[in-house]
Amino acid sequence: MMARRNDSFVDMTGIEGKVRQEQICLEFPSKVSSPGLAGLYSNNIKLDAFMDYSGPRLYLQMVASFVLTQSIHNLALKYLGFPMLISQILAGVILGPMLFHGHNSLITMSESSVEILGTIGSLGFVFYLFLSGVKMDTSMTRKAGWKAASIGSLTVLVPFVFCLITDVILNGGHRDMIKNKNFFLAMTYSTTSFPVIHSLLSDLKLVNSELGRLGLAAALVSDLLSMAILHVGKYFKTYVDKEIDIVLKEIGLNVAFVLIVFYVLRPTMNWMVRRTPEGGKIKDVFVYAVIFMLMIIPTVTGMTHLFVLVGPFMLGLAVPDGPPLGSALVEKLEPFVSGLLLPFFASACGMRFNVDDIINISPYAKSQSIASVVTLFVKFLVSLALPLLCKMPTSDSLALALIMTSKGLFEIGSYSILFDIGMISLDIFSTNFVIIVLLASVTPLLVKKFYDPSRKYIGYQKRSILHAKVNENLKIMGCIHVPGNVNSIINLLDSSCLTKETPITLDVLHLVKLTGRATPLLITHSKNSKTMPTKSYSESVILAFNQFERDNWGALFVNIFIAISPSNLMYEDVCNLAMKQLTSFIILPFHRRWYIDRSIESEDVSIRNLNRKMLERAPCSVGILVEGRQTTKCSNSNSIEISSSLPSLDKIAVIFLGGKDDREALALAKRMSQDQEVNITVIHLKIANDYATTLVDSDKMLDDETLRFMKQTTYVTYIEHYVNEGTETSDYLKSIVDKFQLIIVGRRYKKEDNRTSGLEQWSEFQEIGVLGDLLASSDFSANFSLLVVQQQLRIYK
């Protein structure tokens, strides 16, 4: 059956375009589900006819796209540093009609079959825009400083003007600039997509870096500004083409849509959040209700003459970010969208690319390609010049310029939809497709080359307890993950000789996992603030440490920070704050906690990964605190009282073998020894009959000098014990650990001698060293806390 269809399309401006006539062949009944291979064989139907059914064709497309994507990425592109998006697009190019045009094969895709896969992928693109809105924090536009605001706005406006000038020069005339599509295409070339920037920074693990935060804030400003300019252009185009009444009607419909989303749907979602107990999980019916809103929002968007993709994005902005609703939507939808739908959408876009469209490019498409390249070049220069004017380092400015000019899936999807609605031709799509793929391939590699956030953690000064004066203000940072960490850190500091003569500045950093939002936050709690954070756990942390400060008034100065960031990037927050606060010692909780019966209370792999990265990158000395075994199981309450199930830490031992980490442990014990109520015991394990120790070297001289002071201190007990091998060390420590509440050891990573021989092969946690792992093992039944110390590693010489 052949039918003639008059298809009037709506372009991205929401205005109807000219009528396009197409002839469409329809076959009845439509072939969806095949009778199966056995049915085809019994009916003597050729295997090629199997692909006439849309169901099997879609399944084969999905399997072929997935296998080819994984093969390209894991066998080649991953090792070159290219993102997964490039592999997905290349898989589509290979499977598309370009390489096998005119050939019939079970694996090649015709134009009609591309539409089937593209329909599934387009649904994923709608979900992608919705989740981008859910994770976007629009308050960043108010909090963004003048630097982010100027970069975000000028990197859109200046390239946009240059693009329009280029169009006028190449095409001649300027009167029809608004009336035709050049104005709107110029904006697509100039804009910076927040979802693309966030995806790039996440892949490069730069979201928490200073450059990443600046890039996200600037991209958010750019995105919102571009959206505003597009709508102003749309209204002006409607006014030029039609009457003012039509413009007012469209503005009214658009305003009505915004009011419905933010003053009807958002209050409804806030009501869902209020119905959820604090810290509890939101009901599934509420999540499904929001997904239902998402499914109908594109239709409502079209009725209001807005671009169809604006609706899902605005609905995402209306969702209350973070837990319980925003995080639940991200956790449920993100794996399905990013893992299944979006890869098919990227592949479907790649299937549309054909190099013949570039070879046979039209003059208008050629002029648009030139305008696009000019726009990107100007955008790069503006993005580079503004940071340089703000005195940013050249390498950081180059990295930021590359980030601000990057393109990705959002732009490819936008051009694909513009082609579907008839606004652009295939040659314009193909040329912009090549530009976007090149930028998406090269940008991550160049950003890695120009920007290394770990460089700034290399100190020019020694920042450790050993190099701090005893009577000066010692700056310590304590990291908090769970309520039990609070009392453990307070007990440790309470034994650190808190007096007005030996004061301590404590920076408390409460680390919270980022869920349901894209932008990390670092919140500084002001002591003069009358409001508390919305989370009761953070409030309890603040109250506990404020009380601890009042109990030690004049000897302890507490600053409290809350960092909300992805688990794999929390080390950036810790290191950045330590650099800013000139911290000398960071206390990190161990990732595992035990009950008194040696059963595991809790274990968090993300905390362990954080500790490992901190040991590698920390700009100062680090201590990993292994808490004593809990006598009772913790309740579900988030309230915290300043008390501990452990006795007061007044009996402390330092196990000394030698080396800079052990000297750092002695330096901490030296400070503690000034409190006469604290009994310090230094246990020096020596190798029996080891004549090599008689040789004088600089390291041994430093050890002897540090030990000499401890031997002369009145309130310090010094013990020497000789061992020949690791088993003797283990047996001796087992015999003495029940006499102490806290044991301090140096990490001594990869430093093994006879005293620890044979122990390393049994180590489970290398981040706390051989002795630390031994003392934290279940072989030691005594109830004591353990502090494993590592002196600052990264120092310029």
Least confident span in 7-21, 419-433, 732-746:
7-21
Task: Give the Å distances, CA to CA, from 578 to 454, 569, 573.
Answer: 13, 15, 8
Q: What is residue 402's predicted lDDT score, i.e. its pLDDT? A: 93
Highest mean pLDDT among 96-110, 228-242, 676-690: 676-690
List the structure tokens of 106: 């079970």
Q: What is residue 672's predicted lDDT score, i.e. its pLDDT? A: 86
DSSP 697: -
CB 9 within 8 A of CB 421: yes
Q: What is residue 551's predicted lDDT score, i.e. its pLDDT? A: 87
Amino acid present at 415: Y
* 751 or 429, greater pLDDT: 429
Kindly report, residue by residue over 563-579, the tens digit of the pLDDT. 888 888 888 889 889 88
Task: Give the Å distances, CA to CA, from 150 to 272, 374, 709, 796.
Answer: 38, 21, 57, 35
Place of tokens 């035990």: 594
Mean pLDDT of 386-413: 89
Q: What is residue 541's predicted lDDT score, i.e. its pLDDT? A: 85
Q: Which CATH superfamily is domain 465-527+536-624 in?
A: HUPs (3.40.50.620)
Rounded CA separation 189/182 (Å): 10
Rounded CA separation 479/577 (Å): 11
- What's the N-to-C CA distance of the chain in angstroms? 81
Residue 717, pLDDT > 60, answer yes
Mean pLDDT of 486-509: 88
Same topology for domains 465-527+536-624 and 648-688+697-796, yes or no?
yes
Rounded CA separation 146/152 (Å): 10
531: left (phi over 0), alpha (psi -120 to 50) or beta: beta
Confidence grade of residue 374 (pLDDT, cut at 50, 70, 90): very high
Q: What is residue 100's predicted lDDT score, i.e. its pLDDT? A: 56
* 553 or 307, greater pLDDT: 553
Mean pLDDT, the chain, rounded, equals 80
* 215 or 648, greater pLDDT: 215
Residues 6+ apart with CB under 8 A from 621: 463, 464, 465, 466, 584, 585, 586, 664, 789, 790, 791, 792
Mean pLDDT of 193-221: 86
Kindly report, residue by residue over 582-605, the tens digit of the pLDDT. 899 999 999 888 777 777 788 889
Residue 643, pLDDT > 50, answer no
Taking the domains of the chain in order of start, what are their residue ranges? 35-80, 84-450, 465-527+536-624, 648-688+697-796
Confidence grade of residue 745 (pLDDT, cut at 50, 70, 90): very high
Q: What is the full DSSP assignment across 699-735?
A: HHHHHHHHHHHHHH-TTEEEEEEEESSHHHHHHHHHH
Q: What is residue 2's predicted lDDT score, i.e. its pLDDT? A: 41
Hey, what CATH topology would domain 84-450 get? Na+/H+ antiporter like fold (1.20.1530)
| Residue (of 481, 627, 640) closest to 545 by Cα position | 640
CA 254 to chain centre: 34
Rounded CA separation 346/412 (Å): 8
Kindly report, residue by residue over 269-286, the tens digit of the pLDDT. 989 988 888 767 888 899
Q: What CATH number belongs to 648-688+697-796?
A: 3.40.50.620
